[in-house]
Amino acid sequence: METRVPTREEMLAALEKRQGADAVRKLQAATVAVCGLGGLGSNIAISLARAGVGKLILVDFDCVDVTNLHRQQYKACQVGLPKPEALLANLKEIAPYTEYETHFEKVTAENVATLLANADVVCEAFDNAEAKAMLVNAVLETMPQKFLVAASGMAGFEGGNTIRTRKIMDKFYLCGDGVSDVADGIGLVAPRVMLCAAHQALTAIRLILGLE
């Protein structure tokens, strides 16, 4: 069977049929930054791209490892590639008309303002507590106009209903069970990580649409 890539107009028409023209218009005009492209971030980015977010800023300083493959949106043939590069290739296959900006670098207190300057919503998707705290503090203290969607707790094999979204402050939302920690030796499993990522992506979409 012959295959082809749909045109931009065809893909937008399909999105409008499923999501409504007004929602698609708002999503197309939005920019979301995803900081950390592991189990959370790679899944967040794919969900946002599929939903029609106009621009994604993708930031990570890590490379794809074989231990990532059980829960992150990478392929076995991409082991060793920088995560921004590998995820960009996968996203272009899914949503070729989305605008992407990639940064193969670590988010720090010195560069965070520059990296996130154009984002309407920031999704925190780090696996390091210090990095999480740095990003949350930086956004809340120096970029109060931006929405921040962070995560805490998605480890283990507990039921999916323990993962939820909470509004912490006016523009700060936290997704996860708030309790489980991979440091306790309970590990990570793809469905729970993806559930938390889905909460973050959906929260970002709802914020863009003015539903929160």
Domain ranges of the chain: 17-24+33-209
Report the DSSP beta bridge partners of residue 149: 123, 173
Q: Band of the pLDDT at 8, cuts 50, 70, 90? A: very high
Quote the mean pLDDT of the chain.
96
Q: What's the fold here for domain 17-24+33-209? A: Rossmann fold (3.40.50)
Q: Say which residue, 212 or 109, is predicted with more confidence.
A: 109
What tens digit of pLDDT does each residue of 162-173 get? 999 999 999 999
* pLDDT number for residue 212: 78
* H-only helix segments in 29-154: 39-51, 83-94, 112-115, 129-142
Tell me the C-alpha distance between 12 and 21, whole Å. Answer: 9
* pLDDT number for residue 1: 85
- Asked whether the predicted pLDDT for residue 142 surpasses 90, the reply is yes
Tell me the C-alpha distance between 172 and 203, whole Å. Answer: 10
